[in-house]
Amino acid sequence: MLHARAVDGLQKRPFRADPSPKTSRPAETRPRERKPAQGGYCPHGPHHFRRQKPPSRDKNPLDNQAARREGSAVNITLDTVKIGTYAVRVLCQLDDILLQANGFTMKFPERPNWTYRLKRDSRPAAVLLDNPETRKQLEDLGEHWRSRIHARIRKDWGERCFAPDENGHWRHPLFKASGTRFSCMHCGQAFPGAELAANLWHCPDPKCDGSPIDITPSEHPA
Ligand SMILES: [Zn+2]
């Protein structure tokens, strides 16, 4: 019975008299050749997903365009430094600097008026963290990399976003709008351009987390 069914199936298979209908198909109706998408996402399905290459390490990793694109999703290792008996990894995550070692993570935020935050984990690194000398070395290391991030941002935006023009107007780095005072959409406060520029266009209020995208030219200039 099984055999008969199998034969039956074979017989039902459509007979193709001409094996070349594919090649004789007009060019305009031929399916387009599928190429893997450049950005990793492919509308044709996961079989075309192209693995992204890890960012190559340049002489100055902060100037590496690929690394900065990748930085939106992953941590980029910038350096590994030996302090005491610990190997401390320096990472960049969305322009924040992280120092990581067995026992702790120190986060140095991109915004200049926020100090670093220390998070200890289950493997206490008291030898390093409770010793004023090594603690200072860690702080200096984090601040060094944070200042490099700031320098890169200033370079990207251009010095005209950090100095007033001849009319005393300050230029917003993202919206290209100029003014003397700007408002923060988060806290509603208005600040002079000089104060914002000094804080890399983040809200100067230490309790507010307004970033440059939340800062707009004030409608009521003082
Ligand atoms: Zn604010």
Residues 138 and 203 in one domain: no
- From 157, 175, 195, the end of a domain falls on 157
Residues 166 and 204 in one domain: yes
Q: Measured in angstroms, how far is the CA atom of residue 205 from the centroid of ligand 1?
A: 6
Q: Measured in angstroms, how far is the CA atom of residue 85 from the centroid of ligand 1?
A: 41
User: Confidence class of residue 50 from pLDDT cuts 50, 70 and 90?
Assistant: very low
- From 131, 157, 183, the end of a domain falls on 157
Is 150 part of any domain? yes
Residues 210 and 195 in one domain: yes
Q: Measured in angstroms, how far is the CA atom of residue 95 from the centroid of ligand 1?
A: 20
pLDDT, tens digit, 9 for 90 and up, residues 134-165: 999 999 999 999 999 999 999 999 989 999 99
Q: Measured in angstroms, how far is the CA atom of residue 162 from the centroid of ligand 1?
A: 19
Residues 106 and 184 in one domain: no
Residues 89 and 151 in one domain: yes
Residues 79 and 140 in one domain: yes
Is 37 part of any domain? no
What is the domain extent for residue 92?
61-157
CA distance 60 to 67: 11
**Residue found by looking up tokens 């980029």 in the block:** 76
The amino acid sitting at 39 is G
Q: Measured in angstroms, how far is the CA atom of residue 108 from the centroid of ligand 1?
A: 20
Q: Measured in angstroms, how far is the CA atom of residue 47 from the centroid of ligand 1?
A: 46
What is the DSSP-derived secondary structure letter of residue 21? Answer: H
User: Confidence class of residue 217 from pLDDT cuts 50, 70 and 90?
Assistant: confident
Q: At 153, is the secondary structure helix, strand, or coil?
A: helix
Residues 6+ away with beta carbon under 8 Å from 120: 103, 104, 129
Angle value at C-alpha 40, between 34 and 45, nearest 5 degrees? 50
What is the DSSP-derived secondary structure letter of residue 30? Answer: S
The amino acid sitting at 23 is T
Q: Measured in angstroms, how far is the CA atom of residue 126 from the centroid of ligand 1?
A: 36
Rounded to two decimals, the pTM is: 0.65
- From 157, 178, 208, the end of a domain falls on 157
Residues 80 and 112 in one domain: yes
Q: Measured in angstroms, how far is the CA atom of residue 198 from the centroid of ligand 1?
A: 15
Q: Is the pLDDT of residue 110 over 60?
A: yes
Residues 147 and 179 in one domain: no
Is 47 part of any domain? no
Residues 140 and 169 in one domain: no
Residues 123 and 145 in one domain: yes
Is 42 part of any domain? no
Contact 201, 153 (CB under 8 A): no
Is 145 part of any domain? yes
Q: Measured in angstroms, how far is the CA atom of residue 172 from the centroid of ligand 1?
A: 15
Q: Measured in angstroms, how far is the CA atom of residue 215 from the centroid of ligand 1?
A: 8
Q: Measured in angstroms, how far is the CA atom of residue 188 from the centroid of ligand 1?
A: 6
Residues 6+ away with beta carbon under 8 Å from 106: 98, 99, 100, 116, 117, 118, 119, 138, 142
Is 55 part of any domain? no
What's the domain count of the chain?
2
Tokens at 213, concatenated: 């995208």
Is 131 part of any domain? yes
Q: Measured in angstroms, how far is the CA atom of residue 214 from the centroid of ligand 1?
A: 8
CB hemisphere CA count around 88 (13 angstroms): 24
Residues 141 and 65 in one domain: yes
Is 40 part of any domain? no
pLDDT, tens digit, 9 for 90 and up, residues 162-196: 999 999 999 999 988 899 999 999 999 999 999 99
Residues 66 and 147 in one domain: yes
